Amino acid sequence: MSSQKQSSSAPSPARSWLSRFILKSVVFVAGLGLCGALLGTLALALAWPNLPDLSAMIDYRPRVPLRIYTSDQVLIGEFGEERRNVLRFDEIPDIMKSAILAAEDDRFYQHGGIDWAGVLRAALANIVNMSKTQGASTITMQVARNFYLSSEKTYTRKFYELLLTFKIEATLTKNEILDLYMNQIFLGHRAYGFAAASRTYFGKQLSEITAAEAAMLAGIPKAPSRFNPISNFKRAKARQAYVLGRMRSLGYLTEDEYQQAVAQPIEIKSAAGTPTGRYAVHGEYPAELARQLLYGVYQDDIYSRGFNIYTTIHSKDQEAAYLALREGVLDYTRRAPYPGPEGSVELPDGIENQPEALDELLDSVQEKYPDNGDLLAGVVLSASPTEVKVARSAAEIIDITDKRALRVIARGLTPKAKPELRLERGSVVYVHKRPEYWELINKPSVQAALVSVRAQDGAVAAMVGGFDFEEGKFNRVTQAWRQPGSSFKPFIYASALERGLTPATQISDEPFSLTAEQTGSKAWNPKNYGRAYEPMLTMRQGLYKSKNMVSIRIMQAVGPQYVQDYVTRFGFDRSRQPAVLPLALGAGSVTPLQMAGAYAVFANGGYRVPPYLIDHVTDSSGKVIMRARPTVAGDTLARAIDPRTVYVMDDLLRGVATYGTGARAHRELKRNDIGGKTGTTNDSQDAWFAGFTPKLVAIAWMGFDQPRSLGSGETGGGAALPIWLDYMRVALAGQPEIPPGPMPSGLSRIDGEFYFNEFPPGTAIARVGLPAPGDLPSGAPAQDGIGNLLDQLGADTSAGNSDTQPTRVPF
């Protein structure tokens, strides 16, 4: 009996084994836990000191791009990989904050940086799928990743992310963390932060967005390349619906607000100045030049430090200059012989009746031949002398029937047209909408430039360096060295006034030539335009009519070396203005910007005011870090030429713009305060008009980048002056006319003409005529009989103004 009890009370072998197993398992798990804790502590001890310092967050300095503005605060350029508009936390609307929390982290204000429920959910999903397919990133974790870590899905990176998340939560407030997130997160199309994204996708400030728009923006961070509304509107719309549903369930939206947001149509419209939008003003050339100038100071730092450059450009003037230059170039292109279509494609029969196929073909054409501003690429469907049909898309067929438009392309519509000129089915062309009709016009090959500066301080008001900035950033205003032709003559005349000639001096206009023996190289036989000559002209008449023979004899009288030295006072490079007689015809080299600075001397009373483009620069906080200190007319140190010379030249150049080769300026603008001079070089390779009022100077140029003739009959008055006029009509609108100022002392007006007091009638040089052929010694350059007269006045015909050094026109 007792033995039976004893055996029944003893543990069975199975139960004993189970107890030992449980005990060992507990010990083993405890050991593993202890080892894990020790390893975790060790890892934490090793990793924590290596976590990055949070100074970048505490002292947040986002990578804000360089922005460039006109003087009236219009954005014309933005440079930098990241487009960002930083807002303070209280500047971000509550609806945007609610949408972000609903989409990304609705327990943001409750958890300590890590949502453990979300982590468990993601871990289970990853185990089930046997891959890292899902994450549980909170807003704090995303901030940690964006500031310091990569986005790679590795456990090591995740471990560091968790540690850094704890550190951020311990250092910053929740509002500060959310503020960083909203300004830092990438949202597609180079937009960083929700303020920039609002401008990129909706064309509006963040403060103006609706609940529907906020939900669409809040849906982007999950996959910026796939969920932004430009790249994939359908997916963005689906993601928006999810976010709106979350906002309703969390109480951020009432049922009525939710229904209204769901029903609201979304309009995608990029703001001007964003990567996907256009700028309100075509200021590409001055914006690029301003960037280059600041880059010379700060190098690559300019693209991330939030600098703002405020230029001297005026937005109204700049856009007027852009439009004037475009129209001037297109007008020349209409006059020039039609060169044939841009290219051709195989156009299957009947494709017009297959909209999808036609659109697909046209898309490929427009990739190769993109639109150029208001020049729109298309394909000819049919062509005859009375009508050309051009397809822009299956839904947009343009009929060109106006006789004025057909006249321009007539040589391509004749049955006998050469193959390269022929317009036919499949020809790739550009069309352009004029006010009254559509026209077919080739993409111009000619170039032009226009620059204007304020006469009093040289501030650049407008600058257009070519027909199309996207075709190349070469700025012809500052980089194109061209012969100025007759537009250079006023500087020759000015030098003569200070050497004893007067506007009344009689000068021979008979043909002039030098033999090879006389020049020491080859014969020189310059011509007047149109090969028209007169026996004698006054200096005033010679300038009005732009007579080459008169200018040559004036320069010969004054002395080439003196002229070379004299013109440096206007800002021209001495090395580019050779001391030879052809300089009288503008055979040196200048840029349009140099010409603008030089003509400003005539406009402002005789002061050299170097042109400048940047008024001031601010940092990201708005503090001014650079400011221009321009030279201003009236500064005695800036005096370039005698005020009497300026007064007389102003009168002469007003006469040119009223009665001479530039008379169209006065005729069309109906102002008496305009002075100017046309310029045309040999074989019409360069066409210029340089004109001014007492407040504004503008220079227009036209030519080919690789110099060649613009064509027979093309002159400065016909090619460049129209550009200048179209610009000045806008720039001078509402500006009162400014009469000439008082005559300076030392200058007299006798019998209607001007004389310096030291060169009164009877003493001033009255006549510059031809010498008898026998008066010239063999091999000696012709002196035109003027040397003796200058000698009698005590003038040194070879002496220059040695105290004036060549000066480059700076900004």
Q: Pick from 627, 314, 326, 264: which is nearest to 471 by CA?
A: 326
Rounded Cα gap, residues 96 and 214, in angstroms:
5
Beta-carbon-side half-sphere exposure of residue 28 (alpha carbons within 13 Å): 6
Select from 333, 372, 378 the least CA-distant residue to 358: 378
Separation between Cα atoms, residue 256 and residue 265, nearest integer Å: 16
How far apart, in whole angstroms, are the C-alpha atoms of residue 567 and residue 594?
Answer: 11
Q: Where are the beta strands (DSSP E) in 500-546?
A: 506-508, 536-538
- Are 543 and 663 spatial neighbours (Cβ–Cβ below 8 Å)? no
Reference 594, options 614, 609, 582; nearest CA is 609
Alpha carbon distances (Å) from 480 to 106, 228, 686: 60, 43, 11
| Helices 489-497 & 643-659 angle (0-180, nearest 10) | 140
| Residue carrying the six token digits 């910026």 | 224
Q: What are phi and psi of 672, to 5 degrees?
A: -100, 0
Q: Number of helices and strands (H, E) in the chain?
A: 27, 23
Which of 270, 486, 495, 508 does the annotation list as catalytic? 486
Distance, CA of 311 to CA of 450 (rounded, Å): 17
- Do the Cβ atoms of 490 and 602 come closer than 8 Å? yes
| Contact call for residues 676 and 723 (beta carbons, < 8 A) | no
104 among known catalytic residues: yes
- Which of 537, 557, 544, 553 is closest to 585 using CA atoms? 553
DSSP string, 537-557: EEHHHHHHTT-HHHHHHHHHH
Give CA–CA dist 381/427, Å, rounded.
Answer: 8
164, 495, 565, 770 from 560: Cα distances, Å: 76, 10, 9, 18
Alpha-helical regions (H) of 391-488: 403-408
Amino acid type, 361: L
SS3 623: coil
Q: In which element (H, E) is residue 128 found?
A: helix 116-129
Tell how strand 75-79 and strand 460-464 pair up. Answer: unpaired
Closest by Cα among 485, 407, 387, 437 to 700: 485
**CA–CA distance, 432 with 465 (Å, rounded to integer):** 22
Which residue among 71, 104, 270, 508 is the active-site one?
A: 104
Helix pair angle (315-335, 721-731), 10° resolution: 150
Burial class of residue 203, CB neighbours in 10 A (0-12, 13-18, 19+): middle
Angle between helices 489-497 and 592-603 (to 10 degrees): 40
User: CA 29, CA 410: separation in Å to the nearest integer?
Assistant: 94
Q: Is 480 left (phi over 0), alpha (psi -120 to 50) or beta?
A: beta
At residue 178's C-alpha, the angle toward residues 194 and 106, to 5°, is: 95
Q: What six digits make up the tokens of 230? A: 């430009």
Report in angstroms the alpha-carbon separations of 172 from 77, 322, 791. Answer: 35, 50, 86
| Residue 275 CB neighbour total at 10 angstroms | 12
| 471 is known as an active-site residue | no
Q: What angle do CA 754, 760, 764 make, to 5 degrees?
A: 95
Which residue reads 């017009």 in tokens?
352
**Which residues are marked as active site?**
104, 486
